Amino acid sequence: MSSQTPLIDARNLRVCYRSGKGYADAVRGVSFQLGKERLGIVGESGSGKSTIGRALLKLLPSARITADKLSFGGTDLLAASERQMLGIRGKRMSMILQDPKFSLNPVQRVGDQIAEAYLVHSKASRAQAKARTLEMLEAVQIRDPERVYKLYPHEISGGMGQRVMIAMMLIPEPEVIIADEPTSALDVTVRMQVLGILDTLVTSKGIGLIMISHDLNLVRNFCDRVLIMYAGQVVEERAARDLMNATHPYTRGLLAAQPHIGGSRQHLPILKRDPEWKTEGAGAVS
Amino acid sequence: MMAGTMASSPVTAPVSARGYGTGALGRLGASLARLMRDPSTGFAVIVVAILLLTALFAPLIATHDPILVDLPNALKPPSGANWFGTDELGRDIFSRIVYGSRITLFIIVLVSIIVGPLGLIVGATSGYFGGWVDTVMMRITDIFLSFPSLILCLAFVAALGAGLENAIVAIALTSWPPIARLARAETLTFRNADYISASRMQGASTLRIIGKSIIPMCIPSVLVRITLSMASVILTAAGLGFLGLGAQPPLPEWGAMIATGRNYMLDSWWLVTFPGLTILLVSLAFNLLGDGLRDALDPKKH
Amino acid sequence: MIDVRDLNIALGLGAASKKILDSVSFSVGAGESFGLVGESGSGKSTILRCMAKLFTSWTGDISIDGQSVKTMPPMAFCRTVQMVFQDPYGSLHPRQSIATALREPLRIHRMVDAQDRSEQALADVGLNGSFLARYPHELSGGQRQRVAIARALILEPKVLLLDEPTSALDVSVQAEVLNLLSDIRQSQKLTYLFVSHDLAVVDHMCNEFAVMQAGRIVEIMDRSALSSGMAKNAYARELIGASLAYDKVA
C-alpha cells in the first residue's frame, strides 16, 4: 500500500436492503482502502461482494448505505448528492459488468456507444469523439476498429464485447474502475486475453482497480491484494501471491475445494461452514 | 457460461406470509392479504365481493319483486319506498339491479369458462408445436381477431337469434383470440426450457407436456387477462342488451334497463343513472382487480 | 457402452447451411467417465442433445450397449439414458413440487412404490424426505442440482449425460456435487458423458476426454496428458495451456 492518500477509503461500510418489515444486511462493517493497485474482492454468492461495488457508485436506490467513512479522492460519497454522483460515475469511477450481451445497448452501434460515453463527460465534438473511440478500440487490441465501430452488439463475440466495454469505461479516463465478474461469461482462452488488455491499460494509466469475482484463481493471478468475503464481512485480507498461506478456515476451505489439473482424484474436501464466521466483528485475518 | 453462482446455505421451512400457513387455503389467504394491501385493488376486491354476495343473496337484499308490474307506481323518483325509484312499468329499479347482478355474473362466469380453456389449449398447442400447426391455428385466431367484437356479436346473434344464452356464446367467440395469443406468447418463452427437455426425456407424451407442464405456466397471465376482459364483456353484454339482442324482457339485465330507460331519460333520470353507475362500478372494479392480480401473481415478488 | 460414429448435424438449408457437428466419432466403455471439452460454440452440448434425442435431424450412428438409439423403443430409451442440465434454475418446473417432479417419470413408466422410490432417490443424493413437499424456488442452487440428479436417476438409467452440471454453482457447492457424482457412478455402475468448459473439473471427473473445436473432435486424450501438457493438436495445446496458466497453483 502506498503512503499517499488512498483513492478509496471505506470504514465500516454497511449496506442493508428492505425485506418485508425489516432490513436485511448485505454488507456488514466492511473496511478497506484502494490505492493505485489491483484489489480483488472474492466471495461466493450472497457474500455481498457485488453490493460493495454498486454501493461505491451509489447504484442501489432501494438500499440504505451507512459508513463511518466512505471517501473517493476528496469527495465524501455518503454525503454526495445525486448530482455530484453523476459527475463521478463514468467520469472518475466506472464499472465493467459481466455480460456484454446485457450491458451493451442492443439497438445502438458499439462505436456510437463508446463515443457517447466520451461525449457525456467532455465537451468534445462528434468528430473528436469518433477519433478517440477508434484510438480506444485499437488500445483494446481490436484489429479492425473502423469496421467494428459500425457493428451492433449482437454481431460481436463475447470477448470482443467485453473489450468494447473496457474501451467504453476507460475512455473518460477514470481514476478507479470496478470490474464485476468481467470474465465470467467468457471462454478460458479469451479470458486471459481480456485480462491482459485490462492489465496493460490499468497499469499504464495508474488506475485503481477493484476486481469482484467468485473465482479465486482468477483474482489470485491478476490482483495485488485480495479480500475474501463471507456473509457480508471481510474474513481475510492478504497479498495475492501470499494466498496459499491463508489462515482463515473459510479461505483455506475454498482453496481446498477447487479441483486442479493434475490433482488427486479423491473426494474434494468439503467446506464446513462454521456459524462462528457469520458473527459480526468475528475478526478479519490478514 | 454465466457465473450466476448460488449460495448453498440450507433453506429451512417454506416461507409463509405473515403466518397464514402453507396449505392451499393458507396460500389463498396470503394472496388475498397481498391484494388488499393496495388501495385500488382492495376497493376492487370489495366491489367484486359485493357483486357476488348480492347475486347470491338477491332474494334477501331486493326490496321488491323485480318483474312485478305496478303501473300506478310508474316513474316514481327515488324515495323511502323505492330506493332507486321505479321504471316505466312501476318495477322497483333497485330490486332489478340486484337481480341483474345474477345475470351479469352468469354472463361473466360462462364466458370465462368457455374462453379460458379454449384460449389456453389453442395457444399452448400452437406455441409448443410451431410449424404449420402454429400457422394454421394463428390464422384462424387472426380471423376472429380482425372483426370488431360488437359487430361479430351482432352477426352471431342475428344468426342464432336474440337471447341471453346466444349473446353469451357470441361474446365468448369474440373474446377467446387474445387469450390464445397470450398463451402462445407465454409458451414460446419457455418451450425450450430444460425442464421441458427433461420431461421429453422421461418419455412424456406431447399431451402430458402441454397439459401438465406448459398450461400451468400460462395460467397466471391468462387469469389476469380474463379478469381484465371481464370489464369489456360486461360492456358488450350491456351493449347487446341495449340493442335488444341480449337479455330479453322482462329480465332485469343492466344494459337492457338503460335501453328502455333512454326514452324517459330527460324527465326520469334515475332510470338510466343507476344501471349506468352500476355497470361503471363493476367494470372499473374488474379492471383494477386485473391490474392488482397481475402485480400479485408476478413470480418475481413472492 | 456408448459408440458414436460419424455424427453430423447441420442447421439451415442449402447455401446457408451451417455444420454444427462434423463427423464426430468416439467410444466410451461401460462404467467410464468420458469428458467433452471445448469453448462455447464447439458443439459439445449439441452432442449430448443428439444423444438424448432432443435433436432429431442428425445423421450418423449413436449406439448404447450395442443398440442404436434410433431403433431403441422410446420407453426403453428413457430407462437407458438420462440427462442432468446446466442451469439449476431452469431444470426443475417452477410450479411443481419436488414430489411431483420425481413422481412424473415413475407414473409415465408405470413404476409402483412411487413414495418409496422418491424417498430413496432423494436419499441417494443426500437430501431427506422433507424436500418432497418443497418447491424449486425454496431450494438453493446446489439442492436443485441434487434434485435434478435424483430425477435423472429415478428411472435407473445406465448412461448419464451431464451438461456442465456444476458451472453455475459456487466452488464449495461444486465440490459437494462432484463428490456425489463420483460416488453415484461407482455405486450404481453408471457411464458418464461429461461436458465442461472447465478442464480442472474434467481432469477430476474423467479418465479420458475429447477436445472439440467448431464441431469437430480435434483430439481424444487421456487424463495424464493434461498435466504433462502433451497434446498433439495445436488447438488442444492452446486450450490446455490457457487452462494451466489459469489454474496455476502459485
Percentage of chain B surpassing pLDDT 90? Answer: 31
Query: Cβ C172–A262 below 8 Å, yes or no?
Result: no
Report the alpha-carbon distance of residue B62 to residue B79 in Å, rounded: 15
Segment 252-281 of chain A within 8 Å of chain B by CB: 273
pLDDT band at A22 (very low <50, low <70, confident <90, very high): confident
Burial class (CB in 10 A: 0-12, 13-18, 19+), B23: exposed
Of B12 and C244, the structure prediction assigns the larger pLDDT to: C244
Answer yes or no: is pLDDT of B98 > 70: yes
pLDDT score recorded for residue B200: 93
Q: What is the pLDDT of residues B229-256, one digit of tens each?
A: 888 888 888 888 778 787 787 888 888 8
State the residue for C-alpha cell 489491483: A38
Using DSSP's 3-state secondary structure scheme, residue A236 falls into strand
CA dihedral A21, A26, A28, A34 (to 10 degrees): -150
State the residue for C-alpha cell 478497506: A32
C-alpha cell, A84: 455530484
* Chain A nearest-CA residue for B8: A45
C-alpha pair distances (Å), B12 with each of A279, B170, B175: 20, 51, 44
Report the alpha-carbon distance of residue B84 to residue A47 in Å, rounded: 65
pLDDT score recorded for residue B26: 64
What is the pLDDT of chain B when averaged over all its residues? 83
| Chain B residues within 8 A of A191 when measuring between CB atoms | none
Burial class (CB in 10 A: 0-12, 13-18, 19+), B148: exposed
Q: Does A241 touch chain C (CB under 8 A)?
A: yes
- For residue A84, how many other CB atoms are within 10 A of its CB? 14
Segment 227-246 of chain C within 8 Å of chain B by CB: none
Q: Does A185 touch chain B (CB under 8 A)?
A: yes
Proportion of chain B in helix, strand, coil states, percent, rounded to 5: 70, 0, 30
Which of A45, A261, A273, A274 to mutate against chain C (most C CBs within 10 Å)? A261
| Chain B residues within 8 A of A46 when measuring between CB atoms | 7, 9
Which amino acid would we find at residue A2? S
* Smallest Cα distance from B14 to chain C, Å: 6
Q: Does C172 touch chain A (CB under 8 A)?
A: yes
- In degrees, rounded to 5, the angle at the alpha carbon of residue B199 between the alpha carbons of residues C32 and B133 is 130
Report the alpha-carbon distance of residue C234 to residue C250 in Å, rounded: 26
* Smallest Cα distance from B9 to chain A, Å: 9
Percentage of chain C surpassing pLDDT 70? Answer: 98
Determine which of A225-234, B31-40, B186-195, C111-120 has the lowest per-residue pLDDT on average: B31-40
pLDDT score recorded for residue A282: 61
Among the partner-chain residues B15, B201, B299, the one whose CB lies closest to the CB of C52 is B201
Answer yes or no: is pLDDT of B87 > 90: no
Query: Cβ C250–A241 below 8 Å, yes or no?
Result: yes
CATH code of the domain covering residue C213: 3.40.50.300
Answer yes or no: is pLDDT of A284 > 80: no
Answer yes or no: is pLDDT of B10 > 70: no
Report the alpha-carbon distance of residue B191 to residue B199 in Å, rounded: 11
Query: Cβ C140–B11 below 8 Å, yes or no?
Result: yes
Q: Does C16 touch chain A (CB under 8 A)?
A: no
Among residues B79, B246, B72, B280, the alpha carbon closest in space to that of B163 is found at B246
Peptide bond into B250 cis (omega under 30): yes
For chain C, what is the domain count?
Answer: 1
Alpha carbon A131 to chain centroid, angstroms: 28
* Smallest Cα distance from C88 to chain B, Å: 9
pLDDT band at A52 (very low <50, low <70, confident <90, very high): very high
C-alpha cell, B28: 389463498
Which of C171, C235, C243 to mutate against chain A (most A CBs within 10 Å)? C171
Backbone angles phi, psi at A176, to 5 degrees: -135, 140
pLDDT average, residue stretch C13-35: 87
Segment 101-160 of chain C within 8 Å of chain A by CB: 141
* Smallest Cα distance from B220 to chain A, Å: 23
pLDDT average, residue stretch C239-246: 82
Query: Cβ B201–C172 below 8 Å, yes or no?
Result: no
Q: What is the pLDDT of residues B25-35, one digit of tens each?
A: 666 677 677 77
Chain pair A-B, CB pairs under 8 angstroms: 25
Answer yes or no: is pLDDT of C210 > 90: yes
Confirm whether pTM is higher than 0.90: no
pLDDT score recorded for residue A286: 65
Provide the residue range defining the domain that includes C116. Answer: 2-249
Determine which of A73-77, A110-114, C119-123 has the lowest per-residue pLDDT on average: A73-77
Cβ atoms A159, A182 nearer than 8 A: no
pLDDT score recorded for residue B17: 42
Query: Cβ B5–A187 below 8 Å, yes or no?
Result: no
| Chain C residues within 8 A of A231 when measuring between CB atoms | none
Q: What is the pLDDT of residues C75-131, one digit of tens each?
A: 999 999 999 999 888 899 998 999 999 999 999 999 888 889 999 999 999 998 889
